[in-house]
């Protein structure tokens, strides 16, 4: 198996190294990751300048662009052989509920999925990655299971792992995305030169953390696995909008 590994915390992040090492027993590993931390980059592509790819001493390739840039150029010209799987992470912090819209970790995996390659995004719920070894074991266990079992392909899985010792994790749970309250207010201040500046506030607390959600599973010590799709069409509103447009005359 050829596995493309990326992330959004940057090519020096400990979570990336842990994930790459966890994937190594499965075959050939190629790491293509952003040069800088791009958390919150979502699915952005860099279109206003060319991108450079450089090789770090450990063999990782790094790109002066976004997570999506990394996977995009890997799949459209950089790699000689198409990967069988794209994995992203292990992110330092959760990507649950509405986080998935903003997440660069999820976006890197999503780019693989958009090109028809099965993809998995891995995040640890609590910041700090205290039990990174444990999370890496979970990543390997999930890829092992994927190799053994029949999942419809391609798939895009969003995995959130509680930051616990492996023996304290309470299994794998298939979940739906929960929902968050709106973000905390923007933090306002003054720059050293007297300009008003704004720093985007923290994500909101969970609003829907009911049973079945990613929030609920991880709060109970389970590894949350949510299958994602990309189609944003609001299918239930198609009829109402169509009626509202009537004949559609301008």
The contact set with Mn ion (CB under 5 A) reads: 8-9, 39, 91
- Whichever of 124 and 142 has its CB closer to Mn ion, that residue is 124
CB-based contacts of 50: which residues, under 8 Å, 6+ apart? none
The CA-CA-CA angle for residues 163, 169, 172, to 5°, reads 105
d(CA 155, CA 143): 12
Residue 56 CB, shortest distance to Mn ion, in Å, is: 19
Which of 74-95 are b and which e, b meaning 16 or more Cβ less than 10 Å from the residue's Cβ?
bbeebeeeebbbbbbbbbbbbb
- Is 149 exposed, middle or buried, given 0-12, 13-18 or 19+ CB atoms closer than 10 A? exposed
- Whichever of 4 and 26 has its CB closer to Mn ion, that residue is 4
- Whichever of 9 and 111 has its CB closer to Mn ion, that residue is 9
- Whichever of 26 and 43 has its CB closer to Mn ion, that residue is 43
Residue 39 CB, shortest distance to Mn ion, in Å, is: 3
Report which residue's Cβ sits closest to Mn ion.
39
- Whichever of 66 and 134 has its CB closer to Mn ion, that residue is 66
- Whichever of 8 and 99 has its CB closer to Mn ion, that residue is 8
DSSP string, 192-247: TTS-EEEE--PPPPEEE--TTBHHHHHHTTPEEEEE-------GGGHHHHHHHHTT
CB-based contacts of 1: which residues, under 8 Å, 6+ apart? 26, 27, 28, 84, 85, 147
Residue 140 CB, shortest distance to Mn ion, in Å, is: 21
Residue 14 CB, shortest distance to Mn ion, in Å, is: 12
Residue 105 CB, shortest distance to Mn ion, in Å, is: 5
Residue 41 CB, shortest distance to Mn ion, in Å, is: 9
| Cβ 90 vs Cβ 16: under 8 Å | yes
């Amino acid at each position: 198996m050829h596995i493309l590994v990326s992330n959004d915390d940057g090519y020096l992040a400990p979570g990336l190294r842990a994930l790459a090492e966890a994937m190594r027993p499965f075959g050939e590993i190629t790491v293509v990751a952003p040069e800088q931390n791009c958390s919150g980059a979502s699915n952005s592509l860099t279109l206003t300048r060319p991108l450079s790819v450089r090789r770090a001493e450990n063999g990782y390739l790094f790109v002066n662009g976004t997570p999506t840039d990394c996977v995009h150029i890997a799949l459209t010209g950089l790699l000689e052989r198409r990967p069988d799987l794209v994995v992203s992470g292990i992110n330092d912090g959760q990507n649950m509920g509405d986080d998935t819209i903003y997440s660069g970790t999820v976006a890197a995996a999503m780019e693989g999925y958009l090109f028809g390659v099965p993809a998995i995004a891995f995040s640890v719920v609590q910041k700090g990655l205290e039990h990174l070894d444990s999370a890496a074991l979970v990543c390997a266990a999930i890829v092992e299971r994927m190799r053994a079992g029949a999942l419809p392909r391609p798939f895009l899985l969003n995995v959130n792992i509680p930051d616990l010792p492996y023996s304290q994790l309470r299994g794998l749970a298939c979940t739906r995305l929960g929902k968050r309250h709106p973000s905390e207010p923007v933090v306002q201040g003054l720059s050293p030169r007297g300009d008003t500046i704004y720093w985007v506030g923290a994500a909101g607390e969970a609003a829907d953390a009911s049973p079945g959600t990613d929030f609920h599973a991880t709060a109970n010590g389970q590894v949350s696995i949510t299958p994602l799709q990309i189609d944003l069409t609001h299918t239930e509103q198609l009829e109402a909008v169509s009626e509202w447009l009537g004949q559609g005359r301008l």
